[in-house]
A and B are shown apart, each in its own frame.
Chain A
Amino acid sequence: MTMQTSRRAFLSGLGLVIGVALAPRGFAADALERGDLAGAPGVPAFNAFVRVATDGTVTVLSKHIEFGQGPYTGLATLVAEELDADWAQVRAAAAPADDKIYANLLFGIQGTGGSTAIANSYEQMRKAGATARAMLVAAAAETWGVPASEITVVKGRIAHAASGKESGFGELADLAATMPAPENPVLKDPADFVLIGTDLPKLDTVAKSTGRAVFTIDVQAEDMLVAMVAHPAHFGATVKSVDDAAARAVPGVLDVKTLPQGVAVYAENTWAALKGRAALAVDWDLSKAETRSSQQIEADYRALFAEAGHEAKKAGDVDAAFAGAGLTVIEREIVFPYLAHAPMEPLDAVLMKNADGSIDCFNGAQFPGQDRAAIAEVCGVDLSQVRINTQFAGGSFGRRAQFGSPYIREAAAVFAASGMARPVKHLWTREDDIRGGFYRPTYLHNLKGALDKDGNIVAWRQHIVGQSLMKKGEFDESTVEGAADLPYGIPNLRVTATATDLPIPVLWWRSVGHTHTGFAVESFVDELLQAGGKDPVEGRLALLGDKNPRHAGVLTRVAELADWGGPIPDGRQRGVALHKSFNTYVAEIAEVSIEGGKPRVHKVWVAVDCGQPVNPNVIRAQMEGGVGYGLGAILFDQVSLGDGGKIVQSNFHDYRSLRIHEMPEVEVAVIPSREAPTGVGEPGVPPIGPAVGNAWRRLTGQPVRRLPLSSAELA
């Protein structure tokens, strides 16, 4: 294919271009050769994670992508603590792709997800900081001719009291980088922490409050094309034929190519690509497509409740318990819809081939090693010839973490088909995003519980039907996590799962299995407690017993915070939910009223125990965001298939996001702790749905049988 440069739209009068990330070809390759990983040439490297520049700036290379959950700030805090740096001298930048050096220690490859960034890096990053500190001290000792043991480091100043010598980090950086790195540097006693546990300002806030932060969509390369792909409106459909005459006639459109993923339009600019794509007439082959509607899929799932399912958890004898006399038995079905992640920045990537044949990719890489391998394979170059330049990403919520990198495969296929002569920016629109699959799967839960005459829960049976995220066929822990390990002391318990197989691609969505198990368990336990005449807080505490102190701790704390049992304004009710996910414990109380026949959430109280808090400011932010993200989903969101299997929703008008007037006040208590830190990106999400649903049931007498709440027949 030859791509001809069409005349670019004439633009004059712009002397200075601000805020644009222009990446000349070969730029990244040069940078890497210079060892310039942090984007500043010639900066002494102390180890894979720490650079100290001669001006004293400390740059921490984050092996985890920053998409709002705070790892740049969190990981840099861990380094700065042990380095005894002053926070004002600390910066963060993306580490390059390397599945060994930058592996997530819990995954074995480089990757961000499962709320693990702080948990897996806690020791590693502190060690990186302590190592760099020891090297700086060694350099000072050598320069000043004094014993290293007499040197102190406080807030970025290295000093030797006896001789009165003092220095910043910068003056010693070059020499320090040549010092041997200690194998096992001594880490601080947590009692001596000065940065960990404090509300340090986030490192990316200023760039993100001035429009200067660069995301993938902002990367502009010299001579770059913009490409978009027309995708089918049915999952599993393929291209039968294309009439591209009208698309090619659009000024600025350079070429059209049919790929396995759809039909790619290449253009000189975004508008021409959009117009060109809209002008395509594509005939799709539906022979292998999903053509059932959401209602049909739901009915097919319901029929699977008749099967036994794979047993994920068994305690006591459930069948015998349900056969007992004098019991109150309640049965409940809950239907969960497909959910799109809808990160604010739709998926995108910029690919360019350098003069030496190597390829640079700029993208929001959540699994950079996977992305790198996908590009090497699709573009037919050696793995060593591909570099991933991880950019800030406009959210993810799970969407950018894909084994096998299907999105990047599409971008690479588009790039390869172009001939790779010019850099290509591959963009998804919001429509591509909402209709692009990789959803939180649809699930049906069937729950059955029995109460004895004193209102105690004596039996619990739960059957979950839906697609397996890990494609494990028979059994997938992520389908039952949060249900099979429920903390409550119920003597007779059985949790089973049936995996289904559909051509609708599915993926983890902020908090994975807990998105539905948390809702089902916490709604049903609350309903049973109410039926048994128990208080939601006291009843849960009794079920937790004395073996679950951290669960009980957050529940007790949130009850205090909300003044549980105190007066509530007329027309409002409160709902409680408690859920552990990713080893973080969260309890939430939501105060809800009915407005226009729908729930209106006024205030949410949150207590979170994530072990040693690294940055309480970030923890509170993630709880606030988790509440808002989860609330929007349970109130409004579903991706549904209409008659014939066509995807119904397409953009924010019918895949609603929570908006500011729907956001409750949120008050967060972070539990002080010296336990190992755990993550906060996801765990704020699971409790909000059931907390609101439980308040709704108390307001209306109607348990939630279907999400989103706006789709249910509300009282």
Chain B
Amino acid sequence: MVTFTLNGKDIAFDGDPDTPLLWVIRDEAGLTGTKYGCGIAQCGACTVHLDGMPRRSCVTPVSTVEGSDVVTIEGVSGAEAAAVQAAWIGLDVPQCGYCQSGQIMSAVALLQLVPKPSDADIDNAMAGNICRCATYVRIRRAIHDAAATLEG
């Protein structure tokens, strides 16, 4: 039995402990905002926050999150999340939208760590998130916009 919290709720999972956290979140908890894109930590579509840090849930066995707090796009909150989502909406960042939960989770984690990121900071933090629609120009601009909002 693995126990952890998912968006603040207690979870107890007694299936295969090797099950990647991604599939526990999607199949068992029924939260589908977190996406599958590659399964090998290459695309970032499955990014969640594990104890506040961005994590690729597709390569995170559920057994390793015992006692942790997991937050997904459905539960992400706080000033950074609000600023990022507002900037995303303001710039109409998404195209197909499939990668965007992961992009937003990575962007929120970046702003929590670095309130005023440079372009190089953005490259470092976001290079693991693929967008096949190549919405990168707007992702970059939205992160700068969100940082400006947070600065007040």
Contacts and interface: CB of A to CB of B under 8 A. Distances in A.
Nearest to A342: B132
B72 A14 contact: no
A211 B130 contact: no
Nearest to A214: B32
A632 interface: yes
Contacts of A661: 123, 127
B40 interface: yes
B133 A395 contact: yes
B74 A211 contact: yes
A394 B98 contact: yes
Interface string B98-138: 11110010000000000000000011001111111111111
Contact of A20 (B31, B73, B98): B31
Interface string B35-75: 11111101101000000000000000000000000001110
Contacts of B38: 430, 651-652
Interface residues of A, number: 76
Nearest to B105: A211
Given A270-B26, A270-B27, A624-B137, A394 B32 contact: no
Given A10-B14, A19-B33, A20-B32, A205 B92 contact: yes
Given A10-B14, A271-B20, A344-B131, 10 more contacts: A9-B16, A13-B10, A209-B88, A209-B100, A211-B74, A275-B16, A429-B39, A627-B134, A652-B42, A665-B137
Given A344-B132, A660-B136, A661-B123, A621 B92 contact: yes
Contact of A625 (B13, B89, B135): B135
A210 B138 CA distance: 17
Contact of B104 (A209, A271, A392): A209
A544 B18 CA distance: 63
Contact of B9 (A13, A272, A624): A13
Interface stretch (A215-223, A324-332, A554-562): A215-223
A211 B93 contact: no
A652 B43 contact: yes
Given A217-B36, A624-B138, A629 B133 contact: yes
Nearest to B72: A211
Interface in A2-48: 9-15, 17-22
A665 B35 CA distance: 27
A629 B132 contact: yes
15 contacts: A18-B31, A205-B92, A210-B33, A271-B19, A271-B27, A344-B130, A344-B131, A344-B132, A430-B38, A628-B136, A629-B134, A658-B136, A660-B127, A661-B123, A663-B134
A657 B35 contact: no
B28 to A, nearest CB: 5
B54 to A, nearest CB: 14
B18 to A, nearest CB: 8
Contact of B96 (A210, A342, A393): A393
A373 B97 CA distance: 29
A298 interface: no
A632 B137 CA distance: 14
Interface in A335-392: 342-346, 392
Contacts of B89: 201, 205-206, 209
A341 to B, nearest CB: 8
Contacts of B20: 271
A103 to B, nearest CB: 24
A430 B44 CA distance: 13
Interface in B132-146: 132-140
A68 interface: yes
A258 interface: no
B95 A69 contact: yes
A252 B15 CA distance: 10
Contact of B135 (A206, A217, A624, A665): A624
Contacts, number: 224
A204 B88 CA distance: 12
- The CB with the most chain A CB atoms within 10 A, among B13, B34, B37, B130, is that of B37
Contacts of A202: 92, 94
A621 B85 CA distance: 18
A209 B85 contact: yes
Contacts of A214: 32
A632 B13 CA distance: 40
A401 to B, nearest CB: 15
Contacts of B16: 9, 251-252, 271-272, 275
A472 interface: no
A566 B128 CA distance: 36
Contacts of B35: 215, 217, 344-345, 394
B39 to A, nearest CB: 6
B3 to A, nearest CB: 8
B14 A9 contact: yes
Contact of B32 (A218, A275, A628): A218
Contacts of A621: 92, 95, 135, 138
Given A211-B34, A629-B134, A661-B127, A204 B42 contact: no
Interface in A160-214: 201-202, 204-214
B92 A657 contact: no
A660 B40 contact: no
A9 B28 contact: yes
A205 B134 contact: no
A87 interface: no
Contact of A660 (B45, B101, B126): B126
Interface in A64-113: 67-70
Nearest to B101: A211
B134 A625 contact: yes
Contact of A632 (B73, B126, B127, B134): B134
